[in-house]
Structures are given as C-alpha cells and as structure tokens.
Amino acid sequence: MYSYKASSLRWLRKRIWFRSYPPTKTLMTRHSYGKRGMEYKKIPVYYFHFSIFVLRHISRSGVRAYEDKMKYLLTLILTIFLASTAHAKNPDEQIRCLAKNMYYEARGEGEKGMTAVGHVVMNRVQSRKFPSTPCAVIYQRSRSTCQFSWVCGRKSPMNREKYNLALRLATQVYLGHSVDITYGALYFHAVYVRPYWSKVFRRTTRIGNHIFYRG
C-alpha cells in the first residue's frame, strides 16, 4: 500500500483503487461493471509514480493556467477545423447552389438584390440554427415547407446572361469578397407578402422589393 499527500491524490481517489498485486509491478484501476460486479484493469505502477511526480512539482495555479491554455488551444483548433471543412466540401458545387438561389429569388432585383440574397444564405451557414453549407441551407425543408419558394415550386427556364451574373456574384459572396449589405439578416420576404414572423424578427433593411430581418 502506498501513502502520499491527500492533495496530490485528490484527482485519483475516484478512479484508482490500488493494492499490492504484485507489490511493485502493477496497480489495479476501475475498468467496467461486469456480471461479477466491478472489474479491474492492470496498469504499470510507474504510470502512478509519474502522475505523483507531476502533481508534486506543479503548483495548483500552474495546473489551472496550463488547463486554461489547453482549453483555448483546443477550441481554436476545433474552430479552424470546422470552418475549413465547411468550405472544403465541394466549393464549386456550393457556389452553384448559391448562384441558383440568388437567380431564382432575385433575378429581377439587379446585382444588389442578388448579392443580398446570397448573404442571407451565408449568414445562415454561420448560424447554429441552420445547416453548415449553402446547399444544405437552400434545400432545407421543414415538414412539407421549403425555406426558399422556388425549391418546391415550378422553375422557369434560366436566362443564361443573368445566371452568369449570379454565378459571379455568388463566388464573391462565398469567398467573403463582398460586404454584407443585409447587416446579418437571416430572413427576407417580398414586399407584397406579410409572413407571421415579420412582426417578431428585427428588421434590418429593405433592398428593392425585399425586406430583410435578423432572427
């Protein structure tokens, strides 16, 4: 049996149960609950000695500072990874989805109107309330309702010139080379309709025949 300072063993009390089996080679640590009750798994005793050595030579403040740095580092790495993977999923396909939505929703609103619709999609991509890619946002459905009306409705033949314009604008919006003129809007509707949520959400701006709202 080993005896060390209680402060050094505080974090090990709930996890490690040790006995001399054999005295200097292995320790027994809780592993899982089996049919016969608590089962134990052997671990080398030098793992235990190393843990005590570390705890003895690092102050509590040092441990906390180290943990804070590690948490910050892991959060930063995870954020960068998620941001890179979100845009790494077939960027050309994502841009085409974005351009298609901009064309059908605002082809008669000019460059400014189409750009605004594109920013609404990208704002949703960055929000936790919506999927993480433009294509998933555009084709998202709530029961039998589509997020964008053209997805569920009949589609007219495309005007190639206007679609090429939408494709160019979509590339700028997707790559972040365009200023968000909707001020972070997540929703919009035409001026001739009055959805129920327009009374709840905060209005940000009006561009052409579309009114934009922040959720």
- Range scoring the smallest mean pLDDT among 12-21, 62-71, 196-205: 12-21
136: alpha, beta or left? (left if phi > 0; alpha if psi -120 to 50): alpha
DSSP state of 23: T
91 pLDDT band, cuts 50/70/90, is confident
Q: In the numeric block, which tokens belong to residue 212? A: 């934009």
Q: What percent of the chain has pLDDT over 70?
A: 61
- For 63, 85, 118, 198, the CA distances from 150, given in Å and listed in that order, are 56, 28, 15, 20
Beta bridge partners of 39: 32
The backbone torsions φ and ψ at residue 188, rounded to the nearest 5 degrees and listed phi first, read: -155, 160
- pLDDT of 54 > 90? The answer is no
Range picked from 15-24, 77-86, 201-210 for highest mean pLDDT: 201-210
Place of tokens 């080398």: 44
pLDDT at 38 over 60: no
Span of 19-28, 64-73, 150-159 with lowest mean pLDDT: 19-28
Quick one: which of 166, 53, 42 has its CA closest to 110?
Answer: 166
SS3 59: coil
d(CA 173, CA 199): 28
Distance in angstroms (rounded) separating the CA atoms of residues 138 and 123:
12
Element at 100 (helix H, strand E): helix 91-106
Apex CA 111: angle with CA 108 and CA 115, to 5°? Answer: 105
Segments making up each domain of the chain, as ranges: 1-57, 62-88, 90-214
In total, the chain counts a number of residues equal to 215
User: How sure is the predictor about 62, in pLDDT bands with cuts at 50, 70 and 90?
Assistant: low
What does the pLDDT average to over 103-122? 95
What is the mean predicted confidence (pLDDT) over 170-189?
95
Whether residue 168 has pLDDT greater than 70? yes
Provide the pLDDT confidence category of residue 156 given band limits of 50, 70 and 90.
Answer: confident
